[in-house]
């Protein structure tokens, strides 16, 4: 949001310059860890990112997951979290 044109004006003269800000990539500070659970349990996956509130997608294989009764998705600061409720064999 700081990208744009800036100027300094003395009243008689003006100078202008433009600022372009290049966004840094979002990286993982802490990656996901493997989990084991019994049927019916809830499982939580967590990862830590280098940027606050970055856009993330959760997937099982190639299928994107969305918030619903089964999947709880949270993003708080640097932490992205997926909770799978009532896990079944098909969730492995």
* Tokens (6 digits) for 55: 């856009």
39 by Cβ neighbours in 10 Å (0-12 / 13-18 / 19+) ranks as exposed
Residue 50 in any domain: the answer is yes
Torsion-angle region of 14 (φ positive above 0: left; ψ -120 to 50: alpha; else: beta): beta
Residue 87 in any domain: the answer is yes
Can you give the residue range of the structural domain that contains 40? 28-91
Identify the pLDDT of residue 40: 97
Identify the pLDDT of residue 53: 86
Per-residue pLDDT of the chain (92 residues; tens, 9 = 90+): 999 999 999 999 999 999 999 989 999 999 999 999 999 999 999 999 999 989 999 999 999 999 999 999 999 999 999 999 999 999 99
List, as one string, the DSSP characters of 13-45: -EEEEEE--PPPPP-EEE--------TT--EEE
CATH number reported for the structural domain that contains residue 40 in this entry = 2.60.40.10
């Amino acid at each position: 949001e700081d990208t744009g044109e800036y100027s300094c004006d003395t009243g008689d003269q003006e100078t202008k310059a433009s600022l372009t800000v290049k966004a840094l990539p979002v990286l993982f500070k802490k990656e996901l860890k493997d989990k084991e659970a019994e049927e019916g349990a809830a499982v939580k996956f967590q990862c830590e990112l280098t940027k606050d509130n970055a856009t993330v997608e959760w997937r099982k294989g190639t299928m994107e997951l969305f918030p619903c009764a089964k999947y709880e998705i949270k993003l708080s600061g640097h932490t992205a979290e997926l909770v799978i409720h009532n896990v079944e064999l098909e969730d492995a």
